[in-house]
């Protein structure tokens, strides 16, 4: 039942009218499939809602296409094209390794030997491996040499091997850098080998050539013509290849690698004598923000990494004094390879659509179906060309957040998922498929198959979580993409005209993308953001723009698009590191907080001095995933500055005690006003859900410093959502609705409800031309606690 016979992706998230978009489809089994472009309006199958709404769009690609199977070759590795210098009779290999799963379960998806540095194919050549028992192994043609000792995981080992063709003597060195009291002394292992047959294949780091015959195959999926298998999980640092069999002392000296750059030292090696031996001395601390595997040896045998391994990783020599690779690159020579890394599925194109010039800017998808009932959707967004807006309203689609959650495995990987959702997770067929097909890559919420944190996510792959008809285990309801369709459904039903643009567009175009609109509406959970995007939002609201923040837990994590993928389009790979605070499903290791792509400090924007509350007025305070609640108005909602938002709504009404996410408008993740964390001092808190949340709702950990009781929804006053309004300069304003579940209430009862009325009042006011009325002078307040004296203090006085 885990089979999904149809999966696919497009080369773009965001496409302009008149531009082309390519679609890649895997149709595994059925002889053909039909594509239909649809306008996505609602993707929620809940029978209490309007149901799926996806009107067809006339398009010349609406056809039946022959089906073909397309598979993904996941797993990162490095390679150097074959060179005559690799065909050496005698050799010495050396490197540091930090393996993460040297021994795997027999049922593990890639159980078997792992290549470390290999010039090897079909039983010919040489290389260092970890064999399937978890021991280090030297292979020279059909001969394997090992001490049989299991490698320690998550620990640095220096390893080396030499082979002297004249004597036939091969030596394998295995030197753990951590030695515990009871560890045996590990002596080098020696063996006699008759010789090497050199295959004409690339040199590989973290894998080996799969082709038994050593012959290249032409395919879109390999830039060098070979499949690589035997993917290694763990870090590698400073690999060296020398011709000739070096002594242990010479190997020790060769750790220094190539040492050029001084006029007094004109040789390539640590000594003049050893300079002649160097074939390659790769230095992965050079080019951390690239996909290059640079060689500092004399022949410049530069290679490339495929499937984007994690770089900016602490090396064997990291000492805990430097934390930013940009200032201590020499301690960041390690690359962490994973067998489930994926940067691009690299499929063949199945069809390409030239988007009509006169099409509306909306959510769209290529709906794929077969006559057997198989189905998949490939969502995309038609975005106006820059400077050519077609509406006063724009929806900013949180595509970085979609990428952060892309293909997440938390329900099946993390036992603790139940503890925070307070029920047993429900896996949809997409989750079942992904649980078997790890090659589709995970999300930034996941750990890799080796247990390390996953900090890079690509959009060039089928992303089965960005789909209609998909309930997420966290909510037992739509989440992210399908949840944002609740908002789209409401806009459509209410007859608003609007444009859409994505996080990519905001990041690359800045204020120019935002400024044409009177109002910008966010998605339900814009949690993951780039710096340029936050700059654009601030610039927009400061200059009179109006922002409707339709959800919660926004503006939380630092993201950056990896610059090495600019040639494949905008925003192909996004990066994020989970540092020392915030809600984290994994935690980055010490010294690994800086992005490999841009070099910026990762983690929460809060710890970069950009408090989330500054963007739209409220910021994340708590989360819980069982059921939602509702809002009540506060006296501040009667203030003439904001009372217009409540026209048609009585003061005592329960606001949003209904909805398609958790059964209420206040739920999942909740934001509050806090002027000490960046909410502006003149902000008006107009409604709150205080006191009504369940025990599953817990305060965010960044708001307290000591593990303590009393942080749940039945006890803690900061477990609440606050709906808030404030004016921004030049006639701008922000309305924050502060709950991820909020948009789920909009379509309720055919959009005839008090949440719909509230949002409609705000949107009508915000979309109008001209500045909003300025706040009266008496609304001005100094910042912070100076504005407030606790009644408790007054009583004490």
Residues near other proteins (CB under 8 A) are 1-2, 45-48, 105, 107-110, 340, 410-420, 422-429, 432, 435-436, 438, 449, 469, 471, 475-477, 584-586, 625-630, 654, 657-664, 667, 694-696, 714, 744
Cross-strand pairs, 393 = 519
Given a contact cutoff of 8 angstroms between Cβ atoms, the answer to whether 223 and 306 are in contact is: yes
Distance CA 178, CA 561 (A): 36
Name the minimum Å distance from CB 417 to other proteins. 7
Distance CA 77, CA 207 (A): 6
Which of 286, 290, 322, 282 shows the shortest CA–CA distance to 309? 290
Helix (H) or strand (E) holding 576: none
Nearer of residues 614 and 689 to other proteins, judged by Cβ: 689
Name the minimum Å distance from CB 752 to other proteins. 18
Nearer of residues 288 and 741 to other proteins, judged by Cβ: 741
Residues ≥6 apart with Cβ < 8 Å to 790:
none
Q: How many residues does the chain have?
A: 797
Distance CA 774, CA 768 (A): 15
Distance CA 388, CA 648 (A): 36
Name the minimum Å distance from CB 112 to other proteins. 13
469 φ/ψ sector (left φ>0, alpha ψ -120 to 50, else beta) = left
Name the minimum Å distance from CB 470 to other proteins. 9
Distance CA 311, CA 352 (A): 34
Name the minimum Å distance from CB 744 to other proteins. 7
Name the minimum Å distance from CB 733 to other proteins. 31
Strand order in the sheet with 546-549: 499-502, 393-397, 519-521, 546-549, 732-736, 722-728, 684-688, 632-633
Nearer of residues 322 and 476 to other proteins, judged by Cβ: 476
Nearer of residues 297 and 656 to other proteins, judged by Cβ: 656
Nearer of residues 272 and 715 to other proteins, judged by Cβ: 715
Name the minimum Å distance from CB 381 to other proteins. 24
Please give the structure tokens belonging to residue 111. Answer: 């159980």
| Distances from the Cα of 102 to the Cα of 105, 111, 788, angstroms | 10, 10, 59
Given a contact cutoff of 8 angstroms between Cβ atoms, the answer to whether 246 and 88 are in contact is: no
Name the minimum Å distance from CB 105 to other proteins. 5
Please give the structure tokens belonging to residue 614. Answer: 């500054």
Nearer of residues 87 and 584 to other proteins, judged by Cβ: 584
DSSP conformation class of 434: H
Name the minimum Å distance from CB 344 to other proteins. 21
Nearer of residues 109 and 227 to other proteins, judged by Cβ: 109
| Distances from the Cα of 276 to the Cα of 169, 212, 270, angstroms | 21, 33, 10
Distance CA 700, CA 474 (A): 17
Nearer of residues 694 and 728 to other proteins, judged by Cβ: 694
Nearer of residues 626 and 669 to other proteins, judged by Cβ: 626
Nearer of residues 281 and 477 to other proteins, judged by Cβ: 477
Nearer of residues 418 and 497 to other proteins, judged by Cβ: 418
Name the minimum Å distance from CB 439 to other proteins. 9
Phi first, then psi: what are they for 40, rounded to 5°?
A: -85, 120
Name the minimum Å distance from CB 734 to other proteins. 28
Phi first, then psi: what are they for 477, rounded to 5°?
A: -170, 175
In 718-796, DSSP assigns E strands to 722-728, 732-736
Name the minimum Å distance from CB 412 to other proteins. 6
Distance CA 383, CA 360 (A): 8
Q: How many CB atoms lie within 10 A of CB 788?
A: 11
Name the minimum Å distance from CB 454 to other proteins. 12
Which of 15, 231, 197 shows the shortest CA–CA distance to 121? 197
Report the Cα 485 to chain-centroid distance in Å. 21
Name the minimum Å distance from CB 411 to other proteins. 7
Nearer of residues 326 and 587 to other proteins, judged by Cβ: 587
Using CB atoms within 10 A of its CB, is residue 242 exposed (0-12), middle (13-18) or buried (19+)? buried
Nearer of residues 183 and 348 to other proteins, judged by Cβ: 183
Burial profile 499-538: b = 16 or more Cβ within 10 angstroms, e = fewer: bbbbbbbbbbbbbebbbbbbbbbbbbbbbbbbbbbbebbb
Nearer of residues 451 and 771 to other proteins, judged by Cβ: 451
Q: How many CB atoms lie within 10 A of CB 49?
A: 22
Nearer of residues 46 and 596 to other proteins, judged by Cβ: 46
Nearer of residues 426 and 786 to other proteins, judged by Cβ: 426
Name the minimum Å distance from CB 334 to other proteins. 23
Name the minimum Å distance from CB 449 to other proteins. 4
Longest dimension (CA), the chain: 94
Distance CA 131, CA 111 (A): 10
Using CB atoms within 10 A of its CB, is residue 109 exposed (0-12), middle (13-18) or buried (19+)? middle
Report the Cα 554 to chain-centroid distance in Å. 16
Distance CA 308, CA 459 (A): 13
Helix (H) or strand (E) holding 400: helix 399-404
Name the minimum Å distance from CB 238 to other proteins. 29
Distance CA 649, CA 637 (A): 11
Is the torsion defined by CA of 404, 405, 407, 410 positive or negative?
A: positive
Pairing of strands 519-521, 393-397: parallel
Cross-strand pairs, 118 = 127, 204
Nearer of residues 194 and 424 to other proteins, judged by Cβ: 424
Nearer of residues 275 and 417 to other proteins, judged by Cβ: 417
Name the minimum Å distance from CB 46 to other proteins. 6
């Amino acid at each position: 039942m885990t089979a999904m016979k149809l999966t696919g992706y497009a080369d773009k998230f965001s496409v302009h009218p008149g531009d082309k978009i390519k679609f890649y489809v895997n149709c595994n089994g059925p002889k053909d499939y039909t594509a239909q472009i649809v306008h996505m309006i609602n993707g929620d199958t809940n029978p209490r809602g309007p149901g799926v709404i996806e009107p067809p769009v006339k398009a010349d690609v609406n056809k039946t296409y022959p089906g073909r199977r397309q598979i993904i070759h996941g797993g990162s590795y490095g390679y150097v094209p074959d060179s005559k210098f690799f065909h050496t009779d005698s050799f010495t290999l050396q490197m540091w390794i930090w393996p993460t799963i040297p021994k795997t379960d027999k049922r593990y998806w890639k159980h078997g030997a792992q290549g470390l540095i290999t010039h090897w194919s079909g039983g010919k050549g040489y290389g260092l491996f970890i064999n399937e028992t978890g021991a280090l192994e030297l292979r020279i043609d059909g001969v394997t040499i090992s001490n049989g000792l299991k490698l320690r995981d998550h620990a640095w080992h220096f390893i080396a091997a030499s082979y002297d063709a004249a004597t036939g003597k091969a030596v394998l060195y295995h030197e753990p850098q951590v030695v515990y009291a009871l560890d045996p002394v590990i002596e080098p292992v020696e063996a006699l080998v008759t010789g090497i047959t050199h295959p004409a294949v690339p040199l590989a780091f973290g894998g080996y050539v799969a082709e038994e015959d050593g012959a290249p195959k032409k395919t879109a999926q390999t830039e060098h013509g070979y499949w690589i298998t035997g993917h290694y999980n763990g870090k590698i640092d400073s690999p060296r290849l020398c011709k000739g069999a070096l002594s242990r002392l010479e190997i020790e000296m060769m750790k220094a690698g190539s040492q050029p750059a001084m006029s007094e030292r004109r040789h390539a090696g640590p000594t003049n004598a050893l300079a002649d031996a160097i074939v390659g001395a790769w230095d992965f601390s050079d080019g951390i923000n690239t996909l290059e595997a640079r060689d500092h040896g004399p022949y410049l045998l530069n290679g490339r990494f495929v499937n984007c391994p994690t770089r900016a990783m602490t090396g064997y020599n990291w000492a805990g004094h430097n934390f930013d690779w940009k200032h201590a690159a020499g301690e960041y020579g390690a690359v962490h390879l994973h067998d489930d890394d994926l940067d691009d599925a690299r499929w063949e194109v199945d069809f390409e659509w030239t988007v009509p010039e006169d099409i509306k800017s909306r959510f769209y998808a290529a709906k794929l179906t077969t006559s057997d009932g198989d189905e998949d959707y490939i969502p995309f967004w038609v975005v106006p060309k820059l400077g050519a807006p077609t509406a006063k309203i724009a929806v900013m689609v949180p595509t970085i957040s979609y990428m952060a959650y892309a293909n997440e495995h938390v329900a099946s990987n993390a036992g603790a998922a139940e503890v925070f959702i307070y029920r047993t997770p429900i896996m949809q067929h997409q989750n079942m498929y992904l649980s078997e097909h790890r090659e589709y890559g995970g999300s930034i919420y996941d750990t890799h198959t080796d247990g390390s944190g996953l900090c890079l996510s690509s959009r060039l792959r089928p992303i089965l979580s960005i789909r209609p008809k998909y309930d997420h285990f966290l909510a037992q309801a739509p989440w992210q993409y399908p949840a944002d369709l609740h908002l789209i459904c409401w806009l459509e039903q209410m007859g608003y005209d609007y444009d859409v643009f994505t996080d990519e567009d905001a990041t690359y175009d800045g204020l120019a993308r935002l400024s044409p609109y009177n109002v910008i509406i966010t998605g339900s959970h814009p949690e993951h953001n780039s710096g340029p995007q936050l700059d654009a939002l601030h610039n927009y609201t400061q200059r009179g723009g109006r922002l409707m923040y339709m959800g919660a837990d926004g503006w939380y994590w630092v993201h950056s698009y990896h610059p090495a993928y600019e040639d494949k389009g905008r925003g192909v790979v996004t990066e994020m590191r989970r540092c020392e605070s915030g809600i984290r499903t994994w935690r980055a290791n010490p010294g690994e907080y800086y992005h490999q792509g841009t070099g910026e400090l990762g983690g929460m924007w809060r710890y970069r001095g950009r408090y989330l509350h500054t963007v739209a007025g409220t910021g994340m305070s708590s989360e819980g995933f069982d059921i939602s609640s509702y809002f009540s108005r506060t006296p501040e909602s009667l203030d003439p500055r904001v009372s217009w938002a409540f026209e048609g709504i009585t003061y005592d009404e329960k606001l949003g005690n209904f909805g398609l996410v958790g059964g209420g408008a206040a739920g999942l993740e909740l934001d509050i006003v806090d002027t000490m964390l960046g909410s502006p001092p003149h902000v008006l808190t107009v409604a709150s859900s205080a006191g009504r949340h369940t025990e599953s709702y817990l305060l965010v950990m960044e708001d307290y410093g000591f593990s303590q009781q009393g942080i749940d929804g039945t006890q803690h006053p900061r477990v609440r959502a606050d709906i808030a309004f404030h004016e921004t300069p030049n006639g701008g304003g922000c309305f924050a609705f502060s709950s991820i579940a909020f948009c789920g209430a909009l379509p309720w009862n055919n959009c005839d409800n008090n949440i719909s009325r509230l949002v409609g009042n705000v949107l009508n006011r915000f979309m109008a031309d001209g500045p909003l009325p300025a706040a009266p002078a008496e609304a001005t307040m100094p910042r912070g606690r100076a504005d407030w004296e606790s009644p408790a203090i007054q009583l004490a006085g």
